[in-house]
Chain A
Amino acid sequence: MLQNNKHEEDSNQNPRVTWEGCSVLLDINDGDRLVFARLTAASSLKIGNKNCLLQPLIGCPFGSLFQVENGKEGPFLSPLSIIEGDNVEEKGDCQIKDECKDNRGLVDNNTAQSLTGEDIDEMRRQGATGDKIVQALIANSATFEKKTSFSQEKYRLKKQKKYAPKVLLRRPFTRSICETYFKKYPARIGFLRVDSLSLLLSMANVSAHSDVLLVDMVGGILTGAVAERLGGTGFVCNTYLGVTPYPVDIVRMFNFSSETCRRIVRCSLTDLCSTQNETSVQIGQAGDAIGSQSNEEKSPLCSESMDGTALSSEHGMLDLMPETSTSPVTKACKTPKAGEKASQEAINLWKENGFSSLVIATPDADAWTVVKELLPLLSFSAPFAIYHQYVQPLATCMHNLQLGKMAVGLQISEPWLREYQVLPSRTHPQMQMSSFGGYILSGTRICSDDQPQLK
């Protein structure tokens, strides 16, 4: 029943092996530290107090695990082989044999470990592996045997992390990129949690071949997430208030194909709305016979502003091909730049047909101010989703949309996400959780005869 799909083609688009110049996410010691890196012959990473070259990671499958080893010419990353059935984590799966050990014998006087720092340095000089050092530490711990098997494992893990750190090679995907930013720099992505982001994509019906209008004031995580779902089809149109586009640097963390990058464009709100006056009149009158008359009356204005936009974005056409870009800041980087100016042709098409989805994440702008400008750019029956850290701007926005009969299915929702520790006889929610992932206002634009004029 396996259909003949072009999966080879897909695996090129979505490769599972690293290459020189590719962006990777490095997970050091089971999520203790997460680092984005670009793999080049010269790039290196500081792990603990050691500097390791990343060159050995080039050409390796994602999911590979590496361990820092001490070589003659200093520390290096060495692939860690995993044999089937001998899962590293299985060691952690310590059996619960009605354990009678407890912590009554433990005294916190710092004398339990008989190996000194000098001893360990000496072992290192003699080329002992990290695992050897961990074993030695355990053998020289006076209290190890008295610990419960659970805390023995904890001890082993703690020492392994310090003396034999592990590096897991991960594919940068929306999931891992969003999680990493949320953990490290939540403010840069407007505190947009991964479950909230996933909801925005669903609620706005982001799907192949759709033209998605975005306001991304969350560093580019939204742009990247939408582009990932489009897979090189459709368009991501990033719009912005004023004259300066919002930075979307995070897009570079994704290993997007040149086709995908080409389909991430930007366009100022002014350019998108340049003929918006007529459009909203049309909408106000449902575009029927009465509407067409008033259209004609306004037509001089219309052509004027059309000329204006055609002029202002003439060079936008050139920018479409990233290779021919004459920008002075052209980098050696081969990847075409995402976020070029939208072509006038595309803009005209969007004005005519409307966008198929709208997603807004503007922590620093009022939701209603943005929505009332952008909603008319959506086609009828198109869904939208708006993220905000505060509920009040969304409540006001929802209320105004209701009053204006501009949308149906309006709903404000707040996602809640809890992770669990699942271990034999020790399953419970994790002690720490993120208690806030923002609010989302979602709905569907409608076409209504009695649509009142917007303020």
Chain B
Amino acid sequence: MMLAVDPSKKISFNRCIGDGDLVIVYERHDNMKAVKVCENSVLQNRFGVFKHSDWIGKPFGSKVLSNKGGFVYLLAPTPELWTLVLSHRTQILYIADISFVIMYLEIVPGCLVLESGTGSGSLTTSLARAVAPTGHVYTFDFHEQRAVSAREDFERTGLSSLVTVGVRDIQGEGFPDDFCGKADSVFLDLPQPWLAIPSAGKMLKQDGILCSFSPCIEQVQRSCETLRANFTDVRTFEVLLRMYEVREGKMENSQAEESVPTGSHRCKRRQRSSEGGNGMEISSSPTVMARPSSESRGHTGYLTFARLIRLS
């Protein structure tokens, strides 16, 4: 269970791992896997063989050992961890875009949200968290098999009561009429979003917000032209994350300072340390340093938001 829909079943806390639970097996920050705990089952990886039966009864967050003494951590699933382990049936949305979408769509508990397409369900999982415990996400994909897999995933993550997956070509047919004027927010991730925008407008409550995610600027251009008819406050963003590497290093070296061409940063340090009268200490003390990672995601997509005009 990823979310506490029922307050009596709080996701907390020191809750122990039980048979049938979904756990995230953490090897490294870039190597995780979702596993359903099954008493007679084992997990095999490069660290050895892990018996699930050893896991049952341990608190989430525990370190568990393999037959060879290797170890992994067992974490409770969250939408963020799920995004890192889910099986990619399509290109997915990542945390920076997801977080921004939820905030900009003003999604709060109790909201009714429409989404198309469902894709791999990465965003859907976070939408479900945001509308819980009383709201609902209706998500549509025209791909039958993808919808089936998504439903299975929401079953696995315990989100079925918050998410309904429908099979429908939203670009061609629009959203079902049942939702007319009922949606607080609509999210579109479609190749031709402008085809779905008129229908999305009908579904939204007045002053409700739409978001369209498109990788290409030409798609944004056309969407914005369509949006201008019935929407206001049309804004397009790009959001990215830069990651940092942290390491401890020994910087050489205060004794040789006079001869080494120094940057301004070092000069300052030297001044400060000589004021204190212990220039020697600097040379041996290790420093924790941070720098941006050399490679990162350079583009995901453009996020266009618009608010349905209130007609009066």
Contact = CB atoms under 8 A, between A and B. Distances in A.
Tell me if A's interface is mostly helix, strand, loop or mixed.
mixed
B49 interface: no
B246 A93 contact: no
Contacts of A79: 312
A120 interface: no
Contacts of B7: 209, 233
Nearest to B13: A379
A201 to B, nearest CB: 7
Contacts of B60: 380-381
B143 interface: no
Contacts of B205: 16
A264 B17 CA distance: 30
B153 interface: no
Contacts of B238: 417-418, 420
Interface in B123-137: 126, 129-130, 132-136
Contact of B228 (A13, A89, A198): A89
A380 B23 CA distance: 13
Contacts of A408: 26, 29, 73, 75
A396 interface: yes
A230 interface: yes
A195 B76 contact: no
A332 interface: no
B290 A383 contact: no
A63 B209 CA distance: 11
Interface string A243-281: 000000000000000000000000000000000000000
Interface in A357-416: 379-383, 391-392, 394-396, 398-399, 408-416
B256 interface: no
B80 interface: yes
A444 B61 contact: yes
Contacts of A87: 228-232, 309
Contacts of A391: 244, 290
A395 B11 contact: no
Interface stretch (A125-133, A170-178, A297-305): A170-178
Interface string A24-65: 000000000000000000000000000000000000011111
B95 A202 contact: yes
A5 B133 CA distance: 10
A391 B230 CA distance: 43
B232 A416 contact: no
B186 interface: no
Interface residues of A, number: 92
Contacts of B178: 1-2
A356 interface: yes
A175 B102 CA distance: 10
A340 interface: no
Interface residues of B, number: 91
B217 interface: yes
A169 to B, nearest CB: 9
Interface string B206-240: 11000000000100110011001111101111111
Interface in A156-211: 171, 173-175, 194-195, 197-199, 201-203, 205, 207-211
21 contacts: A1-B138, A6-B134, A16-B205, A63-B307, A63-B308, A79-B312, A82-B310, A85-B229, A199-B95, A202-B102, A203-B80, A205-B79, A208-B129, A210-B11, A354-B13, A379-B14, A380-B62, A409-B81, A413-B243, A413-B244, A419-B235
Given A89-B228, A93-B225, 18 more contacts: A1-B138, A1-B178, A2-B178, A87-B232, A198-B100, A208-B5, A210-B10, A210-B11, A229-B109, A353-B12, A391-B290, A395-B288, A399-B246, A411-B29, A411-B244, A416-B239, A417-B238, A420-B236
Interface of B: 3-5, 7, 10-14, 26, 29, 59-63, 73-76, 78-81, 95-96, 98-100, 102-104, 106, 108-112, 126, 129-130, 132-136, 138, 164, 166, 176, 178-179, 182, 205-207, 217, 220-221, 224-225, 228-232, 234-244, 246, 248, 288-290, 292, 302, 304, 307-312
